Amino acid sequence: QVQLVESGGGLVQAGGSLRLSCAASGRAFSGYRMGWFRQVPGKEREFVATISWSGLTTYYADSVKGRFTISRDNDKNTVLQQMNSLKPEDTAVYYCAAGSGSYLSTLGYAYWGQGTQVTVPS
């Protein structure tokens, strides 16, 4: 029902910034809560940020609070994640997700993108 494609990842020096984009297909995008997760090899996929259907409610993991900002444009079927003051520990594959369940768990999201790599060298 919904296809998600992430872009915007890359290699950024510590302290730098970049913006991830998630392009979604179809009108149904506007009806879903959107989230960003990240994963490193050998570890569980972890919650990063989420935004409600309306865009009025956001929630962030403590590890990124104050540095990352999630936003969405339902007319453009796009969700963004601005990442500032990047740290080496932010290195991961970042996934865009759409769902309507628990926003802190991967189980709450029914659709996932393929992921985009973010690398912040030490």
80: β partners: 21, 71
Q: Are 49 and 81 in contact (CB under 8 A)?
A: yes
What is each CA distance from 95 to 23, 122, in whole angstroms? 12, 22
Number of helices (H), then strands (E), in the chain: 0, 11
| Residue range 60-87, pLDDT digits in tens | 999 999 999 999 887 888 999 999 999 9
* β-strand pairing of 58-60 with 109-112: unpaired
Q: What are the pLDDT digits (tens) for 12-37?
A: 999 999 999 999 987 666 778 999 99
